[in-house]
Structure 1
Amino acid sequence: MNLSIQSESPRYATTGILVLASFLGSCSSGGGDDQGPGGEDLEQLVSQLRGVITAQSIQPVPDAPSLSADLVELGRALYFDKEISGNRDVSCATCHLASRAGSDARTLPSGVGGSGLGPDRLAGAMVPRHSPVNLNSFHGQAMFWDGRVEFRPPPGGGPPELMTPAGVAMDATITGVFTPGLETLAAQAILPPTSRAEMRGEIGESELGDIVDGNFTEIWDAIVARLVSFPAYVGMFQDAYPGLLVGDIHIGHVGNALAAFEASELQCTDSPFQAFLEGDDLALTATEIRGALEFFSPASRCTVCHSGPFFSDFNFHNIGLPQLGPGKGNGLGSNDDFGRENVTGLAQDRYKFRTPSLLNVALTGPYGHAGQYSTLSSIVAHYRNVATALDDYNIMDHVTNPDLIATQVANQTEVLANLAPSLANPLQFSVTDVTAFLESLSATDALDLSGIVPPSVPSGHTIDL
């Protein structure tokens, strides 16, 4: 199976075939990019970056937890199986393609009722937010753009609890089987099948679509009933959970298996920057090192949000992005998206969205909570002067879907009124160099995810790649 990744990065650009290892080697340091703008040689640049890494205690990405092979295999089958969607036409993999490093390369996802894959998918229900990348999602932090799955104190106060839109339906029976450290990932995994646009479909289309909105328990029970009708799935559940009786299988076992698969098989950290952190002084080019020095400089403000081994604080910020697409029912036209405010109810959270990880970011465009920017360099340039970038944004430069061209919301004044303080003033940095550094966060093992794809799934449905 030959899966290709499309990227604007010179390290990883392809023309329909995978980048060969020899090509990767030819793009490593020493290929003519061995001096800084002030004449610094590569050795001097390496020394400077080593000093920054030590001063800021920058650490490599940790390993994912060790998980049983049987649990991972069950999760693999579930991830690629369309049986968990209402019309049996969408799987997790439909919007998180192995051929595109866990993304769909679309501005906004095309859900139920669509045909084709990735940018070529047509006629599906439009999902209002960009598909989050699910590589390296074993961090245990908040999930979704608005963080609606996370550990936080309950409304009445007290210690943090796993909070989700499912409320009491996500009970102790379900969460009790979640692997410690993967609770948010497991809870997130069982929510898309409850969304009409993403996976469940409409009334009259299937028994899942006929269930009233918000009845999570009934939806989940119906999904499990489908799965246990296949003897192969029953065997896989019982292998993954020894001693489990058929009548005791529930949606928690599904979510936990999906989380195990994602944590184990979608861990892609074999990047040039990771190699540099592990001691390889020749892993980065001079341009990438200059970009790293700018990225980690307090003057660029990048690390205000993009910090830690996953390059995210997993917090919520208003970074001044335009709004496009159907929105989340907010604003006068019901086509705006208030982001985090929809979870917390707090006006100060309006237009705040979760900071995404930057690992593999060059492979997983478009960028923004609604896929507003089509290239990595364009979203990087946005940060140099957010107010100007927002006012000057031209949807035609970044969006090709004709259904989206007329959907930009005229909310610039409201967005800028609540802008993150770190972005209130223009910033000075080289877009070219910072973009080059971000490209060095792309893992070579993310380029070819063919090994994660099963030859078939128990239902017999086709597999989206």
Structure 2
Amino acid sequence: QPFKNKNFFVTPAGETLPSKLENILAAQALFPVTSATEMAGQMGENTIANFAAEKDFTSIWNALAERLRSIPAYVSLFEAAFPKIKNGSNELTFADAANAIAAFESQAFRFDNSPFDAFLRGDDDAMTVDEKMGMSLFYGEAKCASCHSGPFLTDHQFHATAMPQIGPGKNHGTSGREDFGRGAITEDAADNYKFRTPSLRNVALTGPWGHDGAFSDLKEIVIHQLNPFDALAYYDRTQPVLTGRSDLDAIDWIAMDDAVAVDQLADACQIEPVNLEPDEIDQLVSFLYALTDLRALDMTDIIPSSVPSGLPVAD
């Protein structure tokens, strides 16, 4: 693995990934600040952006850690959370910040109180009849659980599901408008069009669906996943919510208008078609709604009134 390090985390930082990371969530927390399109900004805008343009992750993390060390209130909080910093055996680094972010995320974004969870804990009335029927289909005839399994309803693996390719793409394929997904990382054509199985917790709240937002209707992506071959052939191009910009409109459908590319996408699909009746599809969708933890509908309580840096907190 070209991106592996001594922590055995596969990341773009390779061997330069800090060693004090407590888990994979902490490793992930390191990278939004390295992305020009997320937090770093564009080259020339600031020092961090310049480092990001050069893929100099270590300099980014060191610079941000220096900022944290310059704010006494942050230092006090980190010393309280990480005793090794307080006793002087470790200097505050951005890895500590990543560990802190991961600890926050693992608590604040824990969603395990959906009707489905309540049912599993023994409350037979937590789910409706349709939701229970949908659950039976999910774990049975519809074969959804062959990929969407475990506590997070994902096997965390990569699969090709013939998801329509829309938008500018990732400079893959003959047109440059395709996204080869996992294949672009492994450089193995057998992995082309494979994407990681997403968690289905709160799935009713996380649209648009598909790695590229190809579906704006949850039922429609369920129909696609049940029979990707037919669904791809008859894909409804009104499903994605597009920008309406003329410069982007011209490239949104290049990959889908390429018959050879669409055939390759279909040929790579790993899902065996499943035929369900319309009412069974509705029941399956009902079950997906039963995966919603109502706390996710309003999370304003986790927004602090202020932060130690003094920077404004958005409403």
* TM-score, with structure 1 as normaliser: 0.61
Give the C-alpha shift of residue 158 in structure 1. Answer: 12
1:397/1:275 CA distance change after superposition, 3 Å: same
Give the C-alpha shift of residue 325 in structure 1. Answer: 2.5
Paired residues of 1:228 and 1:246 also in contact (CA < 8 A): no
Paired residues of 1:194 and 1:219 also in contact (CA < 8 A): yes
Paired residues of 1:269 and 1:445 also in contact (CA < 8 A): no
How many percent of aligned residue pairs carry the same amino acid?
A: 40
1:65 match = none
Alignment of 1:441 with 2:287, yes or no, is no
Give the C-alpha shift of residue 426 in structure 1. Answer: 4.5
Paired residues of 2:179 and 2:193 also in contact (CA < 8 A): yes
The equivalent position to 2:106 in structure 1, one of 240, 263, 266, is: 263
1:189 match = 29
CA distance in 1 between counterparts of 2:268 and 2:233 reads: 15
Alignment of 1:416 with 2:266, yes or no, is yes
Paired residues of 2:137 and 2:143 also in contact (CA < 8 A): no
CA distance in 2 between counterparts of 1:232 and 1:444 reads: 34
- Tell me which stretches of 4 or more aligned residues in structure 1 moved more than 3 Å: 154-160, 403-406
1:225 match = 66
CA distance in 1 between counterparts of 2:264 and 2:109 reads: 38
1:313/1:208 CA distance change after superposition, 3 Å: same
Give the C-alpha shift of residue 279 in structure 1. Answer: 0.5
CA distance in 1 between counterparts of 2:4 and 2:90 reads: 36
Alignment of 1:252 with 2:95, yes or no, is yes
List gaps (5 residues or longer) in structure 1: 1-153
Paired residues of 1:386 and 1:426 also in contact (CA < 8 A): no
> Pairwise CA RMSD of aligned residues?
2.3
More helix by share: 2
Structure 2 counterparts to residues 12-31 of structure 1, below 5 A: none
* TM-score, with structure 2 as normaliser: 0.89
- Greater Cα shift, 204-213 or 255-264: 204-213
CA distance in 2 between counterparts of 1:160 and 1:436 reads: 41
1:110 match = none
Alignment of 1:167 with 2:28, yes or no, is no
Post-superposition Cα deviations, 1:276-329, rounded to whole Å, max 9, x if no partner, equal 1011111111111111111111x3121111111211111000111111223222
List gaps (5 residues or longer) in structure 2: none
The structure with higher relative contact order (CA 8 Å, sep 6+) is 1
Paired residues of 2:5 and 2:14 also in contact (CA < 8 A): no
Paired residues of 2:2 and 2:14 also in contact (CA < 8 A): no
CA distance in 1 between counterparts of 2:128 and 2:82 reads: 47
1:75 match = none
What secondary structure does 2:9 align onto? strand
CA distance in 2 between counterparts of 1:252 and 1:262 reads: 15
The equivalent position to 2:226 in structure 1, one of 376, 384, 388, is: 384
Give the C-alpha shift of residue 156 in structure 1. Answer: 12
Paired residues of 1:189 and 1:255 also in contact (CA < 8 A): yes
Letter in 2 for 1:162: F
CA distance in 2 between counterparts of 1:222 and 1:374 reads: 40
Alignment of 1:286 with 2:134, yes or no, is no
The equivalent position to 2:199 in structure 1, one of 346, 353, 357, is: 357
Give the C-alpha shift of residue 446 in structure 1. Answer: 1.6
Give the C-alpha shift of residue 266 in structure 1. Answer: 0.9
Alignment of 1:428 with 2:276, yes or no, is yes
Paired residues of 1:320 and 1:386 also in contact (CA < 8 A): yes
